[in-house]
Amino acid sequence: MAGDSTLVKELRQKTGAGIMDCKQALVENGDDIGKAVDWLRQKGLATAGKKAGRATNEGVIASYIHPGSKVGVLIEVNCETDFVARNDEFQSLVHDLTLQIAASKPTHVRREDICQNVIDKEMEIYRGQAKEMGKPQAAWEKIAAGKLEKFYQDSCLLEQTFVKDPNIKITDLLTQKIAKTGENITVRRFTRYQLGDEE
């Protein structure tokens, strides 16, 4: 079937192009991944992947205070040049990220930022839950690993579903903006404040 979701996902991973562009590339090329990659490259859409390794030393520090002044977010988002840092596409992304953090309460940017002892503790809890549920011991590790993936999706900003578009994750949103701006973009750090929360 033209534009099959598995193929779209594979093509996006290879090229960093947007969902609709990948679907069109597959339709135009009879679901041939190799030809679709070439088609996207010819159109200049398969660019985000190449940019991902480039240094990001410019950018902005932005803040957002939710109406009612009970939730606030401070974030640093980096790009390659001051020119992109000032453009509307980048500013819009930064604003969307602050809204995401305010609404979805991530604790880390990416899974690699989570300390190993936190991961070990979560896995221990999940194994215990599997045991309490009466699952066979052979299945505990698999169940715990599945729950850990869910923990990453809840805790890591880049793995969360975008609040404005549940069909994409924040990492996909970044990839789209990288393709549009022509520069690498990274989220360096953020802090979410909620009135009355303990540090």
pTM of the complete model: 0.70
- What CATH number corresponds to the domain at position 18? 1.10.8.10
The verdict on 23 and 119 lying in the same domain is no
Instruction: List CB contacts of 62: < 8 A, sequence separation 6 or more.
Output: 74, 75, 77, 94, 95, 98
The verdict on 22 and 40 lying in the same domain is yes
User: Can you give the pLDDT of all 199 residues of the chain as single tens digits?
Assistant: 444 678 888 777 667 677 777 888 888 888 888 888 777 766 665 555 555 566 677 899 999 999 999 999 999 999 988 899 999 999 999 999 999 999 999 999 999 999 999 999 999 999 999 888 888 888 888 999 999 999 999 999 999 999 999 999 999 999 889 888 888 899 999 999 999 876 5
- What CATH number corresponds to the domain at position 182? 3.30.479.20
Instruction: List CB contacts of 91: < 8 A, sequence separation 6 or more.
Output: 60
Domain hosting 95: range is 58-109+156-194
What does the alpha-carbon distance between residue 181 and residue 184 come to, in Å, rounded to a whole number? Answer: 8
